[in-house]
Amino acid sequence: MLTWVRKNLFLSAFLFSFLLLLAGCAHGTESDGALPQEESESQPDEDDIVIGISQVGSESDWRMMNTKAYMDTFTEEKGYYLIFEDGQQKQENQVKALRKFILKGVDYIVLAPIVETGWDAVLKEAQDAGIPVIIVDRDVSVEDESLYICRVGSDLMQEGRNAGEWLADYLESRGRRNEKINIVTLQGTPGSTAQIGRTSGFAEVMKKHANWNMLEYQSGDFTQAKAYEVMEYFLETYDDIDVVICENDNMAFGAIEAIKEAGLKLGKNGGIIMLSFDAVRDALLLVQKGEIMADFECNPIIAPLIEETIQKLERGEAVEKVQYVDETYFDYKMDIGTLLLDREY
Ligand code: GYE
């Protein structure tokens, strides 16, 4: 039987090849700074809308789905010419990509920023070049908010609050309202909105529960492999962990493997209570098994809302500065099997 790590490495490799294939179909995709062959062959049509997308990387199932949605939405048939750049989890690569988009004179820049800070200078360059920038997925923290048109993504702080509220209700329902509850958190990439929002949203609820004891926060960088190591460390260090908060599903996969290897139980019958974020398909299957108790959805399919925004801008209409996608949560009591039937991710 494949272990979770191996299974998901395999899955990631498969998805990665698939995305490479898709990316190959998009125009001008490159990763090493050299102009790819097809870029010299393929040029946008005169009335194409040229969009430069700077993506974070390919660190999680969520990200793979998020990228696929861009490819599916901004197609040639619909009159888009897409330049997709994978930042490989490094801000410097993303800054380089933005400068390249500016040089090329794209019509729109779509930026999924790995972290919130450090964007002022390059966004000013885009503004000076008259190129509208749409911030997607995570947020930026800049002095002058007119440097970008709007942000389209998730209310990541609300996701964190939802997790806290869910835990409070659950503990209450199990008669554990006043018990000391030891918690560890596997955080996402430090300084990313997904980390900041989820951590602080949860912390807000935690303040109302003096008996909740956060033993430690450690980053698993949103990846399964790193989370596996951090969870091993948590288990070696603390012998009474009640709750594990994983700030994304891939980290939950790594943490679950470490917990099982340590011979510990997960779930409602005296096991570790695991909460996660994203609600990708493989994680929902674990919710169904009761290994993840609740998963707070983060919708990766934001491309259609970005397209709607671009179309509004094309018509000269105003757009909302902050636009959130709809999200919900799933827990072990729900009929996951049925809802997976018509869920895309
Ligand atoms: O939760 C995680 C990914 O920024 C919301 O990034 C996104 C997060 C998502 O790697 O899986």
State the CATH number of the domain containing residue 141: 3.40.50.2300
Residues 292 and 305 in one domain: no
Q: Is residue 257 part of a domain?
A: yes
- Which one-letter amino acid corresponds to residue 298? C
Q: Is residue 27 part of a domain?
A: no
Residues 128 and 261 in one domain: no
pLDDT at 42: 80
Q: Is residue 38 part of a domain?
A: no
Ligand 1 pocket check for 59: Cβ under 6 Å:
yes
- Specify the pairing of strand 80-86 against strand 27-30: parallel
Q: Is residue 40 part of a domain?
A: no
Distance 62 CA to ligand 1 centre (A): 6
Run of H or E including 40: helix 37-41
Residue 187 confidence (pLDDT) above 90? yes
Name the residue of 248, 250, 296 whose CB sits within 8 Å of the most ligand 1 atoms, as the mutation to test its pocket.
Answer: 248
Residues 220 and 271 in one domain: yes
- CA-nearest of 123, 248, 275, 269 to 192 is 248
Mean pLDDT on 264-292: 97
Output 168-175 pairs: Cβ under 8 A, ≥24 positions apart.
168/205, 168/208, 168/209, 170/273, 170/293, 170/294, 174/268
Residues 101 and 169 in one domain: no
Mean pLDDT on 175-197: 98
Distance 280 CA to ligand 1 centre (A): 11
Share of the chain above pLDDT 90, in %: 86
Mean pLDDT on 221-242: 98
pLDDT at 32: 40
- Confidence band for 41, pLDDT divided at 50, 70 and 90: low
Mean pLDDT on 302-310: 97
Which of 9 and 126 is assigned the larger pLDDT? 126
- Confidence band for 22, pLDDT divided at 50, 70 and 90: very low
- CA-nearest of 92, 8, 3, 100 to 58 is 8
Residues 75 and 146 in one domain: yes
Residues 144 and 167 in one domain: no
Question: How many structural domains does the chain have?
Answer: 2
- Which one-letter amino acid corresponds to residue 287? V
Residue 5 confidence (pLDDT) above 60? no
Distance 222 CA to ligand 1 centre (A): 7
Q: Is residue 208 part of a domain?
A: yes
Which of 38 and 267 is assigned the larger pLDDT? 267
Mean pLDDT on 77-91: 97
Residues 186 and 52 in one domain: no
Residues 307 and 278 in one domain: no
Mean pLDDT on 45-63: 96
Residues 234 and 108 in one domain: no
Residues 6+ apart with CB under 8 A from 102: 109, 125, 126, 129, 131
pLDDT at 9: 43
pLDDT at 8: 47
Average pLDDT of the chain is 91
Residue 98 confidence (pLDDT) above 50? yes
Mean pLDDT on 279-304: 97
- φ, ψ dihedrals at 303, nearest 5°: -55, -45
Residues 141 and 263 in one domain: no
Structural domain for 119, as ranges: 9-17+47-153+300-314
Mean pLDDT lowest among 32-36, 121-125, 263-267: 32-36
Name the residue of 298, 301, 327 whose CB sits within 8 Å of the most ligand 1 atoms, as the mutation to test its pocket.
Answer: 298
pLDDT at 282: 97
- Specify the pairing of strand 243-246 against strand 181-187: parallel
Residue 29 confidence (pLDDT) above 90? no
What does R_g of the chain's alpha carbons equal in angstroms?
21
pLDDT at 287: 98
Q: Give the ligand 1 atom nearest the CA of 247.
A: 1
Q: What's the predicted TM-score (pTM) here?
A: 0.89
Residue 21 confidence (pLDDT) above 50? no
Q: Is residue 244 part of a domain?
A: yes
Q: Is residue 4 part of a domain?
A: no
- The span from the CA of 187 to the CA of 57, in Å, is 17
Residues 236 and 143 in one domain: no
Ligand 1 pocket check for 12: Cβ under 6 Å:
no
Residues 180 and 251 in one domain: yes
